[in-house]
Amino acid sequence: MSHIPPEESSLEPKNEAQTMQRREFLKNAVLTTGTIVGVGGSLSLLTRQASAATPEAALIGGAKRPLGPYDTSEAQTSYQSITTYNNFYEFGTDKAEPAKRAGTLKTRPWTVLLDGEVKKPQRVDIDTLQSWFPLEDRIYRMRCVEGWSMVIPWFGFPLAALVRRMQPTSKAKYIQFTALNDPKQMPGQLEGVLEWPYVEGLRLDEALHPLSFMAVGIGGRLLPNQNGAPLRLVVPWKYGFKGIKSIVRITLTSTMPRTTWALSNPGEYGFYANVNPKVDHPRWSQATERRIGELSRRPTLPFNGYAREVASLYSGMDLRRNF
Ligand SMILES: Nc1nc2c(c(=O)[nH]1)N[C@H]1C(S)=C(S)[C@@H](COP(=O)(O)O)O[C@H]1N2
Ligand SMILES: [Mo]
């Protein structure tokens, strides 16, 4: 199995069902996370949603929060595109399928197992887990290995805060994330395109970098199922496939996790998957990308534009070999 090569046609979909679904999420968000306050600004989730006339206006820029040190000031991708142009193979390989099919995913109640090289393994409810941390906004670029990109206003907490809370033992060197494995809820798992569950991982120093983020929402509202509800990883300097969705287990390990895409096609996908315009995918160039919503392609930046922040993590490493 492999990723679908970059497409040139504009597939940004528009459909009314999404608008309805979005209203459902809004209702959900108010019910379950109404007391959460974003640290980036003083607006509560509730206030932001209540005062927003449209989904776009509810986005961070619309709320006029001052940009934080890790936010990009680039134009945000439309909420419509972010939530209807997705890769989530548990719901099919077509970009439009996750938004249409992910309604079968039940995201409450939901627990996450925190285990491995930690002081005390535990299973925690998602609402408890997200109450451990102040939730904040992060406007990040996202670059898919297929050659398209978006700018997404995530909402969540730094992964480093969770790792510290897990109290790593001295043997912990990596972190492994496991997604839900349940073909009844995820019908694409019956289609046999990848090995399930989807697994991803990071080196522990990558996980502790302040850019590494756990998202529970987009634009101040809970994640739509198709974007990886109720909890997904966001690592903006790496290709999008590292950003595993619908996580049920987080494990600290002493050895490098065996990750889904690297297992499925080791010649095409590596563990590191740092965005690198100089190292082409065997079947296509990585030099440029199509920003969803734009017509012409733009150059892809080393580490997806985050080189200043993260390049030192890889000093002395051959990035061509460790792709
Ligand atoms: N569980 C799971 N997580 C996943 C995927 C997937 O198929 N399953 N696809 C990945 C890929 S290839 C990309 S580009 C991003 C897409 O995230 P988005 O749909 O929220 O833009 O999710 C990543 N996380
Ligand atoms: Mo991707």
Ligand 1 interacting residues, C-beta cut-off 6 A: 86-90, 144, 179, 198, 227-228, 240-241, 243-246
Compute the average pLDDT of residues 41-46. Answer: 41
Give the pLDDT mean for 9-26: 37
- Which token pair is 30? 């108010």
Nearest ligand to the C-alpha of residue 218? 1
**35 CA to centre of own chain:** 23
The C-alpha R_g of the chain, in whole angstroms, comes to 18
Residue 12 in domain: no
The dihedral through the CA atoms of 168, 170, 176, 181 has a sign that is negative
**Residue 63 to residues 51, 55, 125, 153, 156, Cα–Cα distance (Å):** 9, 11, 30, 12, 17
Confidence (pTM)? 0.86
Question: Is there a domain that residue 3 lies in?
Answer: no
Count structural domains, the chain: 1
153 neighbors 60 (Cβ within 8 angstroms):
yes
Instruction: Kindly state the average pLDDT of the residues 78-94.
Output: 98
Examine residue 7 and state whether it is found in any structural domain, yes or no. no
275: containing domain: 22-314
pLDDT tens figures, 239-293: 999 999 999 999 999 999 999 999 999 999 999 999 999 999 999 999 999 999 9
- The ligand with the least distance to the CA atom of 89 is 1
For 23-40, what is each residue's pLDDT tens digit? 344 344 433 443 343 333
Residue 186 sits in a domain whose CATH number is 3.90.420.10
320 falls within a domain? no
State the closest ligand 1 atom to the C-alpha of 239, by its place in the atom list counted from 1.
14
And the tokens for 66? 């001052």
Instruction: Say what the pLDDT of residue 192 is.
Output: 85
Answer yes or no: is 87 within a domain: yes
Residues 6+ positions from 320 with CB-CB distance below 8 Å? 278, 279
